[in-house]
Amino acid sequence: MASKPLTRKQSAARIKDLRDEIKYHEKKYYVDNEPQISDYEFDQLVKELGRLEGRFPELVTPESPTRRVGEKPVEGFPTVRHKRPMLSMDNVYSVRELEEFEQRVRKLLPGQQIEYVAELKIDGLGISILYRGGKYVQAVTRGDGVQGDDVTANVKTIRSLPLVIPDAREVEVRGEIYLPFESFQKINREREAKEEALFANPRNAASGSIRLLDSKEVASRKLDVFLYSIHIEGAELASQWENLQTIKKLGFKINPHSRLCRTLGEVVDFWGEWTEKRDSLDYDADGVVIKVNSTGQRQALGVTSKFPRWAISFKFPARQATTRLNGIVVQVGRTGALTPVAELEPVRLSGITISRATLHNEDEIKRKDIRIGDYVLIERSGDVIPKIVSPMKERRTGREKIFVMPTKCPVCHSEAFRPEGEAIARCTNPSCPAKLRESLLHFAARRAMTIEGLGEALVDQLLEKKLVRSIPDIYALKYDDLVDLERMGPKSSENLLDEIQKSKSNDIARLIFALGIRHVGERLAQTLAAHFRGIDMLAAAGVEELTAIEDVGPVVAESIAFFFKQPENRDLLRKLKTAGLNFAAKKGEAKGDQPLAGKTFVLTGGLDRFSRDEAKDAIERRGGTVTDSVSKKTTYLVVGKEPGSKLAKAQKLGITILNEKEFSKLTE
């Protein structure tokens, strides 16, 4: 006889019990690695919960285990500014360099006892995760360290990550999302079967996975996460070791391989042990992160413009392997650069299969005397793209072939030209399809024109269907051009057109960088934007005028002037201007309108008239710089309500302190 269905009240009680039981088993399986029931039994619990929630949808809550996957595919990833920067870390590769790091620390903390925490450096994707009221709220990628992508729905699919924690305060945890080797290999096998490009390493696969638009597909990738940092109500705990223990107590997964070290010698011992044992791990670790344990000491040490002074990454030695070089292909980049790439007999290295390696340029091939058919020694140093260290000449048979660099572009077959004194030959055709593809991707990139949604897959479709034949064609795209493309649809098409329209009002620094002028990076683009009042003035500048600008040498000046002299580039600018892009410097961008140039600001406390971002923008538009820590180089400390410890430090150093009224007057 069938059992009588549960009433709503009974179902509510059963749902609560099921959620608690599933949460317990998720932690035992995914975090503690101590499964208490079989996969089948676990699945039955989830299915029962799903059935009850299906009968009583009003009882479904966002933190239910059934809600990890199931949100509608997102249309894109909004950008979110981090509450505090996610700093990158400087690297060392020898004990001597590590000792130099400690000397710098001791110089800034004279006579103090210093402890370190050594942790494995996981080669993954940096993530910041926010909880409020004990519930999972948001997840944001590291991005550029200041802002990142909101990937909340996708990170929610990670089973080891709790959706509810026993702390109702605002809790931010940070860590690394990674892909276990087994999952990485499975993904690449599936991509190979579909004739799709393989991921180069687990880190790239993790990054690509977390940015998939469909959370169900993300869940199938079996991502995982280790957490290593915590802020509660914006404050750190007394030490890094306490951070780790607290993170674990709250139910998060920390890497089990970390050590509190009383001396630098103990740090080196830990590094040496894991140099030997790293191949026993089921994920990619490329070194050891060493952090000063005391939070107070870390605050005293502060940060540079790029790195914290209290932490360093001690990389494992490069790993090498031997394999056969089967062939050399030539790729064409955004600037038309022809780059030779080695096609290798697949070989395992650093936990992944390597089948390609960079050869840099023709001179490098000749210098190392690398030949097609050689057995070669390859290396991954710091887990970057593999490179060929040297050929194994003693194994040559006489059948090896000397590589000859092509004189024509392998894509469009136009002439390739190698300027005197340069190591790289370039395609001379401005309409070369290979150059155009890379140029479009660069133009749309976040640090250039920031056209969200215009990624590789879409660019390839636009080129294939000849909807875009040059960069300005982006601004001629219509809804009907996009809506029927693969993985677009009405909402995605509307969003992309909005992004394209929005990009027209970008400041000229972004446009200068987006143009892809050789030797002009993001920082130099900002310098040029500050010097000239518009793109037209920059285009008319001669080499002599350009060379007079700080950071612009003769080679760079020649490159800039050459770019704007080319008829095809003048035509490009004319079309972009006609399309409505901003060609004039906004207030605060042009030379002579930078009253705060050379001045460094630090902000503390809450302001009434400005958000933190608005205050930062007001300073930077007037030429000033904003940093996070007070030092002797700080010009002003801007103080709002409830200032932190920065105020006391600024007073001690004699830094000029501004209240909000004084700051407002300074930025009028």
Coil, helix or strand at residue 113: coil
227 closest CA partner among 162, 175, 161: 175
Q: Are 203 and 125 in contact (CB under 8 A)?
A: yes
List the catalytic residue out of 47, 83, 121, 587: 121
User: What's the rounded Cα separation, in Å, for the pair 584 and 593?
Assistant: 14
141 closest CA partner among 123, 161, 127: 127
User: What's the rounded Cα separation, in Å, for the pair 600 and 605?
Assistant: 17
Up-side HSE of residue 549: CA atoms within 13 Å toward CB?
23
User: What's the rounded Cα separation, in Å, for the pair 284 and 178?
Assistant: 8
Place of tokens 């690695």: 33
User: For residue 601, which phi and psi values (nearest 5 degrees)?
Assistant: -115, 150
Strand-pairing partners, residue 79, are: 149
User: What's the rounded Cα separation, in Å, for the pair 322 and 345?
Assistant: 10
CA distances from 418 to 19, 407, 425 (A): 66, 9, 4
CA distances from 268 to 118, 256, 417 (A): 9, 18, 50
Residue 403 contacts by C-beta under 8 Å, 6 or more apart in sequence?
Answer: 328, 340, 365, 370, 371, 372
In Å, the largest CA–CA distance within the chain is: 95
Coil, helix or strand at residue 465: coil
DSSP letter, residue 142: -
Annotation marks residue 665 as catalytic: no
User: What's the rounded Cα separation, in Å, for the pair 481 and 552?
Assistant: 42
Residue 552 burial (10 A CB sphere; 0-12, 13-18, 19+): buried
Residues 459, 462, 465, 470: is their CA dihedral positive or negative?
negative
Give the DSSP letter string of 617-628.
HHHHHTT-EEES
Tokens of 65: 């285990």
User: What's the rounded Cα separation, in Å, for the pair 87 and 81?
Assistant: 13
585 closest CA partner among 664, 527, 666, 498: 527
- Catalytic positions: 121
